[in-house]
Structure formats: C-alpha cells, structure tokens
C-alpha cells in the first residue's frame, strides 16, 4: 500500500464579488500541475499546484505544495499513471482529498460556494508549467 504525505506550502483564496454567498450556483474548473522532484527506491516526491475557479467567476482558490509517495515501486507507478488516455492519475485525487479540508474552510470563511469533494466539471493536469494538456472530464 502506498502512503501519500502532503505538505501544503501555499494557500490563496479570492472572492470577486461581495454579493457572492455559499449557495451561489456555480460550476468549478480545476487546473492542476504535478511534477516529479525526486525519486528513490520506495518513494517519490512531487510538487503540485491545484487551482479551483468558479463559473461564473465569483471566487478562486489555489493550493500548492509537495507530496511524498512511499511504498512499493510498482504501486507508486500505478498511482502516478493515468488509467486511460486523457484522464488524471489516481495520485491527483489522493492529493485533492488531503487539501480539500483547507479549501472547504476557506470557502466557509469567505462565504463563497464550497468546492465539490468529488470534484468537478473539468480538470486540466499539467505535468510541468511548460507542458499543457487538453481539459479532462472527471
């Protein structure tokens, strides 16, 4: 079993309108990037950035940091490999599950719509800032 440790290093949240409430009807677009920073037998280090924006544009949340995956090399590889062409790798959802509580608390504090725990309308996953991928439906 792979253990995923997440270290949040940056959190940003913006409310674009004072008329926005928690029950404002929106959809969420998610932009994410992940990049491998180090690898050794039994573990892999990643840096990540997850940005959640609402449509219509009433709020924006952004969380960045690092994650360490510890476990068997084959299991780690399965976690970082997308199951289908155009889908996100399972590690993305593991990281999102761990940072969701931060985004939920910020949303409540700013009285903006809460992001969905199971995610979203569209996820864009970038393997590095220079590399762009087409939108992926989750």
pLDDT tens track for 46-67: 999 999 999 999 999 999 999 9
pLDDT of 16 above 60: yes
- Here the CATH number for the domain that contains residue 38 is 3.10.420.10
On whether residue 132 sits in a domain, the answer given is no
Structural domain tally of the chain? 1
Q: Bigger pLDDT: 127 or 69? A: 69
DSSP string, 89-106: PHHHHHHHHHHHHHHHHH
On whether residue 138 sits in a domain, the answer given is no
- 126: confidence class by pLDDT, cuts 50, 70, 90: low
On whether residue 131 sits in a domain, the answer given is no
On whether residue 90 sits in a domain, the answer given is yes
What is the pLDDT averaged over residues 91-107? Answer: 92
Q: Could you list the residue range(s) of the whole structural domain that residue 100 is in?
A: 3-126
On whether residue 78 sits in a domain, the answer given is yes
- Give strand pairing partners of 53: 29, 60
């Amino acid at each position: 079993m792979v253990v995923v440790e997440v270290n949040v290093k940056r959190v940003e949240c913006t409310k674009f309108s004072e008329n926005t409430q928690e029950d404002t009807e929106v959809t969420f677009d998610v932009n994410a990037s992940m990049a491998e920073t180090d690898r050794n037998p039994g573990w892999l280090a990643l840096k990540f950035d997850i940005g959640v924006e609402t449509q219509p544009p009433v709020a924006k949340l952004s969380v960045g940091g690092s994650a360490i995956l510890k476990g068997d090399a084959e299991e780690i590889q399965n976690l970082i490999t997308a199951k289908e062409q155009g889908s996100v790798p399972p590690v993305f959802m593991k990281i999102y599950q761990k940072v969701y509580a931060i985004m939920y608390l910020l949303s409540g504090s700013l009285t903006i719509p809460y992001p969905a725990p199971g995610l979203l309308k569209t996820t864009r996953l970038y393997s590095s800032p220079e590399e762009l991928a087409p939108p992926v439906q989750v």
